[in-house]
Amino acid sequence: MLIRQLTPTWPPAVTIGTEEGVKLEDLVVSAQANPDARGYIVLTLRRATGAEYEALLVVAENLLDKVLLKILEKKGLTLRQLGDVEVLDT
């Protein structure tokens, strides 16, 4: 299954540090598990203007480590490309 199929909302709906919504063309800069709440991955995204913000990616707790590892393996992806990363074989 693809990352975008493993989350209840794609693209991520909750953002921090911006009033604009998530744009699929934004670059994924980093990802980390949210230490305060299991089941959330905090994505740091960069807009074409260079401005950075965060988005919360909701993932089932039992898949969190697999999804996070796949994200960390990929470098220089846009959010759109990240959504198409295969995590689970179907």
pLDDT digits (tens, 9 = 90+) for 1-14: 999 999 999 999 99
Q: Does the residue 89 lie in any domain?
A: no
pLDDT digits (tens, 9 = 90+) for 27-79: 999 999 988 878 899 999 999 999 999 999 999 999 999 999 999 999 899 99
Q: Does the residue 36 lie in any domain?
A: yes
Q: Does the residue 16 lie in any domain?
A: yes
- Find the length of the chain: 90
Q: Model pTM?
A: 0.91
Q: Does the residue 90 lie in any domain?
A: no
Expressed as residue numbers, the domain containing 70 is 3-83
Q: Does the residue 26 lie in any domain?
A: yes
**Adjacent-strand bridge partners of 46:** 27, 52
Q: Does the residue 46 lie in any domain?
A: yes
Q: Residue 80: pLDDT above 70?
A: yes
Side-chain-side CA neighbours of residue 70 (13 Å): 21
Q: Does the residue 48 lie in any domain?
A: yes
How many domains in the chain? 1
